[in-house]
Amino acid sequence: MVIHGGVGSLEGDPQRRITVHETLTLFLMESYPILCDYDAWTAAVHCTRLLEDDPNFNAGTGSKLQKDGQVRMSASLMDGRKNSFSAVINIENVRNPIEIAEKLSHEKHKVIAGDEANEYARKKGVKYFDPITPQRRREYEEKSTGQSGTVGVVALDKAGNIVAATSTGGMGYELPGRVSDSATVAGNYATKKAGLSCTGIGEHIVDMGVAVRVVSQVENGMPLNETVKKILKEAAQFRYKLGLVALDYLGNIEIGKTIDELFYAKHDSKSVTTFYSCQAFD
């Protein structure tokens, strides 16, 4: 199982690295037993919910505000075995966008956006929730995009199923209604062979179709590490800013980035490693 809390520059804030390291480790350690006892779907949704509830990340509580002062969140889920993608785009006033993506996975029409997504959530009995934190309000007033990022989870269960989940509050101070990569197959994708969640500048990720391209190349027989290396080389040529976490059906985990820092944590069934340090747990 591999998770991320987005990309960011950490210059001048060493304490933030430690906080993010501890938080990602905690969430991964809490979610991993769910992966073992249940399945990749349950663990991915659970872990994404934890990340969304933590105001340090830009998803759910603590999502960034768009230019008009409104938070619009997006999330997606992909079940590799069922080859099924569901997503909610620019939803407002819910606590956990990933829950809406999960509900949509049972519908005939599995991707919805905007006002209709808000209506769908209310019809499903999801309670009104204000995700704006004082910190994000301050960043908005300073017209700053802040340092926090999108969250994502990719998990492989013992039955061999791979699930990818991604959730975001967007870029911060962007054009109202802008659509991020996170609720598209460019930012979040999985098949029986591999799964991937992206973070970084959505326009760059969509331009390259990152997630679906990497996974397709693994489907065609290219090893995951080579595929990730290839896409990052291409992204660097365009000066695109992105990060990704990926895993394949053999349990190989790959982390990639073209930016300074990607906050990630991975559990390879023996030990947990984060962007900050490597520690072993029983």
The catalytic residue positions are 150
Nearer to ligand GLY, 182 or 227 (CB): 182
Query: Which residues lie closer than 8 Å to 20 by C-beta, 6 or more apart?
Result: 5, 56, 263, 275, 276
* CB of 121 closer than 8 Å to CB of 94: yes
- Compute the distance between CA of residue 168 and CA of residue 151 in angstroms, rounded to an integer: 6
> Which residue's CB atom is positioned nearest to ligand GLY?
202
Show the binding pattern over residues 33-72: x = contacts ligand GLY (CB under 6 A), - = does not: ----------------------------------------
- Per CB under 6 A, contacts with ligand GLY among 95-154 are 150
- Pick between residue 133 and residue 145 the one whose CB is nearest to ligand GLY: 145
Query: Does 261 contact ligand GLY by CB under 6 A?
Result: no
Nearest approach, Cβ of residue 145 and ligand GLY (Å): 10
Least distance (Å) from ligand GLY to the CB of residue 58?
8
Question: Residue 168 Cβ, how far from ligand GLY at the closest point, in Å?
Answer: 4
Task: Work out how close the CB of 165 gets to ligand GLY at its nearest, in angstroms, rounded to a whole number.
Answer: 14
CB of 5 to ligand GLY, least distance (A): 12
The number of residues that bind ligand GLY (CB under 6 A) is: 11
CB-facing half-sphere around the CA of 204: CA atoms within 13 A: 21
DSSP per residue, 41-79: HHHHHHHHHHHHH-TTSSSSTTPPP-TTS---EEEEEEE
The angle formed by the CA atoms of residues 252, 220 and 86, to the nearest 5 degrees, is 75
The residue among 34 and 198 lying less far from ligand GLY, judged by its C-beta, is: 198
The smaller minimum CB distance to ligand GLY, of residues 80 and 202, is found at 202
Residue with Cβ nearer ligand GLY (157 or 200): 200
**CA 98 to each of CA 93, 142, 216: distance values in angstroms, whole numbers, following the listed order:** 13, 29, 24
List the interface residues with ligand GLY, window 166-225 (CB under 6 A). Answer: 168, 170-171, 180-182, 199-202
Nearer to ligand GLY by Cβ, of 148 and 273: the residue is 148
Q: How far apart are CA 45 and CA 120, in angstroms?
A: 19
For residue 72, the minimal CB distance to ligand GLY (Å) is: 10
Structure tokens at 76: 């997606």
DSSP letter, residue 81: T
Residue 165's beta-bridge partner residues? 77, 153
> How far is 225 from 214, CA to CA, in rounded Å?
10
Residue with tokens 């693994």: 218
Contacts to ligand GLY by CB under 6 A = 150, 168, 170-171, 180-182, 199-202
